[in-house]
Amino acid sequence: MSYDFDLFVIGAGSGGIATARRAAEYGAKVGIAEFSSLGGTCVNRGCIPKKLMVYASHFPDMFEEAQGYGWSPVASTLNWQTMIGAVHKELERLNGVYQRMLDNSKVELLRGYAKFLDPHTLEIVDSADSSTPARKVTADKILIAVGGHPVMPDIPGIEHASTSDDMFLLPEQPKRLVILGGGYIGVEFACIMKGLGSEVTQIIRKEKILRGFDEDIQTLVQEAMQQHGIRILDSSYPTAIEKTSEGLKVTLAGKYQETVMADVLLAALGRQPNLQNLGLENAGVEIDKKAITVDEYSRTSQPNIFAVGDCTDRINLTPVAINEGRAFADTEFGGKSRIMSYENVPSAVFSTPEAATVGLTEAEAREKYGDALKIYRARFKPLYHTLTGRDERTMVKLVVDQTTDRVLGAHMVGPYAAEIIQGMAIALKMGAKKADFDATVGIHPSTAEEFVTLR
């Protein structure tokens, strides 16, 4: 049977675009549908704009810390509109880059929403012009790469809350920000907005933030956030949100039975796949727990339909979606069968201080290896802060299997943690042993050298 495309991709986020371009490199005729800006969540509503705001939030501390090195005091104020405008200008530039990448790869972009009519047929409805007739396209293989969206809790008055998507669109900086949720999104925005000068209150159901991360990371980041003036109300949850003339009134239950006031209330309570209106039932694609079910080759229950990225709810990170997509393209179009490995995938939290991790947490390793573990840990004031006067702490940690001497996990809290753990990830991926770390000469003076001097 003849099809319009060898591969059609639904969703032009990082994973979808990477897959489309890789398949096109192998000679496939590829189409891709997107109703919004190119680059998906990461480029437009996540990684990139958030990291730019992280940088912006660090300047007030840098101005003050510079005095310890002999610089005169700096009087500076933030122009919110200028910062947000500069961020959006960069996002526009990146969208242009993605468009050129698709054009250069000869991938046809169809603007609109895609919906399955059957396993090989899609209907594309123009998102910009509802009067334009829907276009039907057929494809031998179809890849779903639609990402996810923020989850809103069922709380009276939740319609007054904002999501992480909205934080980059605020017309002015909120003086009072209340955040629901202790995951990495909530933690990052708490640190960003506090650094920019907002009063920040974070409400979490558990005793500690960053559930699923190593306990030392949880503890040290939470202590630092509180030391920096972020109020964390643990073991508490909202029961009602009310819009008043003085702002949003959030009523709490649990450990802190009180009300807190906010100019903006950020609901950062997780994300779930964007599966609404895809017509998956028309294609026989199965879902489980609101995510698309896939095998190790990213194949769905329909043999010609595949899915990668957050819509499969495996490891929801941009580089993972890209790797999954390229593995699919290599296998299906490049004659290079391979699968994505989910072991030793590094990740970071761009909080203040920054945290990063790769491999098993101490708790995970103890559950798997029992008493065979040995933990190597150092907590210290970095050299930079010996002159700033700040009581900031950095932590480095290795989790080691004593039986084999293999390093099972590496964790860090402190400046440039993500940059340092990226290098540690290569070592763990290669099966490095503690003896390999010990035999490596450190770079002095640096924080990274602590990983090779732990005893």
Same domain, 11 and 142: yes
Q: What radius of gyration, in Å, describes the C-alpha atoms of the chain?
A: 24
Residue 105 predicted with pLDDT over 70: yes
1 falls in which pLDDT band (50, 70, 90)? Answer: confident
Coarse DSSP helix, strand, coil percentages of the chain, rounded to the nearest 5 percent: 35, 25, 35
**Cβ partners under 8 Å of residue 21, min gap 6:** 101, 102, 105, 107
Same domain, 397 and 426: yes
| 399 in Cβ contact with 365 (< 8 Å) | yes
132 falls in which pLDDT band (50, 70, 90)? Answer: confident
Three-state SS at 65: helix
Angle among Cα 233, 238, 239 to the nearest 5 degrees reads 150
Q: Determine, yes or no, domain membership for 121.
A: yes
How would DSSP label each residue in 411-444? Answer: EEESTTHHHHHHHHHHHHHTT-BHHHHHTSPPPS
Q: Determine, yes or no, domain membership for 66.
A: no
124 membership: H or E segment, kind and range? strand 121-125
Residue 284 predicted with pLDDT over 70: yes
Amino acid at 231: R
Separation in Å, CA 57 to CA 189, 340, 351, 429: 10, 35, 10, 33
Same domain, 9 and 46: yes
26-51 core/surface letters (b: 16 or more CB in 10 A; e: else)? bebbbbbbbbebbbbbbbbbbbbbbe
| 31 in Cβ contact with 110 (< 8 Å) | yes
State the pLDDT at residue 407: 98
Give the C-alpha separation, 228 to 27, whole Å. Answer: 54
* Average per-residue pLDDT for the chain: 97
Same domain, 217 and 178: yes
Same domain, 136 and 25: yes
Q: Determine, yes or no, domain membership for 353.
A: yes
User: Which domain-ending residue is among 252, 269, 286?
Assistant: 269
Q: Quote the percentage of the chain above a pLDDT of 70.
A: 99
Each residue's pLDDT tens digit, 187-207: 999 999 999 999 999 999 999
70 falls in which pLDDT band (50, 70, 90)? Answer: very high
The tokens describing 250, both together, are 């959030």
User: Which domain-ending residue is among 245, 269, 293?
Assistant: 269
**Cβ partners under 8 Å of residue 222, min gap 6:** 208, 209, 210, 232
CATH number at residue 410: 3.30.390.30
Q: Determine, yes or no, domain membership for 205.
A: yes
Same domain, 284 and 167: no
Separation in Å, CA 174 to CA 157, 169, 197, 200, 263: 19, 12, 9, 10, 6
Same domain, 224 and 365: no
How many helices and strands in the chain, by DSSP H and E? Answer: 11, 23
Same domain, 296 and 436: no
Give the C-alpha separation, 362 to 4, whole Å. Answer: 51
Same domain, 322 and 446: no
Same domain, 95 and 179: no
Give the C-alpha separation, 334 to 326, whole Å. Answer: 10
Catalytic status, residue 444: yes
Residue 129 predicted with pLDDT over 70: no
How would DSSP label each residue in 372-399? Answer: GEEEEEEEE--GGGGTT-----EEEEEE
Residue 358 predicted with pLDDT over 90: yes
State the pLDDT at residue 10: 98
Q: Determine, yes or no, domain membership for 434.
A: yes
pTM, full prediction:
0.96
133 falls in which pLDDT band (50, 70, 90)? Answer: confident
Q: Determine, yes or no, domain membership for 61.
A: no
Q: How far apart are the first and last CA of the chain?
A: 65
Give the C-alpha separation, 191 to 352, whole Å. Answer: 6
Give the C-alpha separation, 225 to 222, whole Å. Answer: 5
Query: ω before 445 within 30° of 0 (cis)?
Result: yes
Angle between helices 184-195 and 215-227 (to 10 degrees): 20
State the pLDDT at residue 126: 84
Q: Determine, yes or no, domain membership for 309.
A: yes
Full residue range of the structural domain in which residue 418 is found: 347-452
State the pLDDT at residue 434: 98
State the pLDDT at residue 128: 64
Average pLDDT (404-427) is 98
Each residue's pLDDT tens digit, 202-249: 999 999 999 999 999 999 999 999 999 999 999 999 999 999 999 999
The tokens describing 446, both together, are 């640096």
Average pLDDT (385-396) is 96
Q: Determine, yes or no, domain membership for 116.
A: yes
Give the C-alpha separation, 162 to 386, whole Å. Answer: 40
CATH number at residue 28: 3.50.50.60
C-beta atoms surrounding 8 within 10 Å: 27
Average pLDDT (18-46) is 96
Average pLDDT (381-392) is 96
Same domain, 104 and 212: no
Same domain, 368 and 417: yes
